[in-house]
Amino acid sequence: MLFLKRFYNKLFPKDREFVNKLSHLVGFVPANESIYKQAFLHSSLSGDVTMNNERLEYLGDAILDSVISEVLFSRFPKKPEGFLTETRAKIVSRKKLGRIARAIGIQELLSHNNIVITGSSSILGNALEALIGAIYLDAGFKAARNFVIKKMIVPHIDLSKIANTELNYKSRIVEWSQKNNALIKFRIISEQDFKTHRIFKTELSVNEKHISIGEGPNKKSAENAACRLAIEKLKITDN
């Protein structure tokens, strides 16, 4: 049934230009054009939530998270949960998604709806998430997963590189402590030896008060992990 609908759509699309561009982008002929049109409709063009792309973005965001989670889970079989969560956050950051959306050519479909492309990467990134939601509804999880892996990750994301760029949380904590006249201290609380690796646990205290414990394969990375938690806990922002 779905196959027939796809076939029919291929022969007689209601909006041939849109369907052509879309099929090229997603790698298959969509069965239900209208849901994709919704994915590209920014809320500034329709406040009606059943028409614009906000709901689809919400759905696509969750599907994207699942696929990225699975990809990182298999790509880094020995890494702890904290590493996977952090790497996922780097990939699905607004900035990164906006860049991927642009590289994929989302703007061509947005402009189809006469949106003035302001160059806002968040509009593009959101539309990309909404597109993933639309693919999921139109063609199922496997199709959405395929799209994320083949069109987003493989051509545009260097997983090893992202994984290795450790965000420097320690420098942020140091900067914050100077600004706030706070005394920060690190203390190694344990060093475990496993067959293949070691795990350091380090405590971070501020003004002699326990704040967080981080772990990692070396002192530096354990300290950094403690700082990451402290930033969350103390709600330290960049501004």
- State yes or no: residue 57 binds its own copies (CB under 8 A): yes
As given in the structure block, the two tokens for residue 179 are: 């600004």
Sole binder of its own copies in the list 20, 34, 44, 85 (CB under 8 A): 85
Of 45, 162, 166, which Cα lies nearest the Cα of 100?
Answer: 162
> Beta strand pairing status for 198-206 and 209-216?
antiparallel
Sole binder of its own copies in the list 16, 161, 179, 235 (CB under 8 A): 235
Contact in structure between 60 and 35 (CB atoms under 8 Å): no
Binding region for its own copies (CB under 8 A) out of 26-34, 47-55, 154-162, 172-180 = 47-55
User: Cα angle at 114 between 2 and 54, to 5 degrees?
Assistant: 60
> At closest approach, how far in Å is the CB of 157 from its own copies?
17
> Angle of helix 121-139 relative to helix 54-75, nearest 10 degrees?
80
Q: How many helices (H) and strands (E) does the chain have?
A: 13, 3
Site string for its own copies, 153-192 (x = CB under 8 A): ---------------------------------------x
- State yes or no: residue 199 binds its own copies (CB under 8 A): yes
User: Is 61 a catalytic site residue?
Assistant: yes
Cβ within 8 Å of residue 130, ≥6 positions away:
38, 39, 40, 53, 54, 56, 57, 60
Sole binder of its own copies in the list 70, 158, 175, 191 (CB under 8 A): 70
Q: Roughly how many angstroms between the first and final C-alpha of the chain, as a whole number?
A: 54
- State yes or no: residue 209 binds its own copies (CB under 8 A): no
Contact in structure between 68 and 92 (CB atoms under 8 Å): yes
Binding region for its own copies (CB under 8 A) out of 8-16, 19-27, 64-72, 98-106 = 64-72
User: Is 238 a catalytic site residue?
Assistant: no
Query: Which residues within the stretch 98-137 sit at the binding site for its own copies (CB under 8 A)?
Result: 136
Binding region for its own copies (CB under 8 A) out of 9-17, 75-83, 116-124, 159-167 = 75-83
Contact in structure between 206 and 183 (CB atoms under 8 Å): yes
Size of the site for its own copies (CB under 8 A): 34
Q: Which is nearer to its own copies, 145 or 170 (CB)?
A: 145
Of 128, 122, 127, which Cα lies nearest the Cα of 153?
Answer: 128
Sole binder of its own copies in the list 7, 111, 141, 210 (CB under 8 A): 141
Q: From CA 24, how far away is CA 95, in angstroms rounded? A: 24
| Residues at the contact surface with its own copies, assessed by CB under 8 A | 47-50, 54-55, 57-59, 61-63, 65-66, 68-70, 73, 77-81, 84-85, 136, 141-142, 145, 192, 194, 199, 235, 237
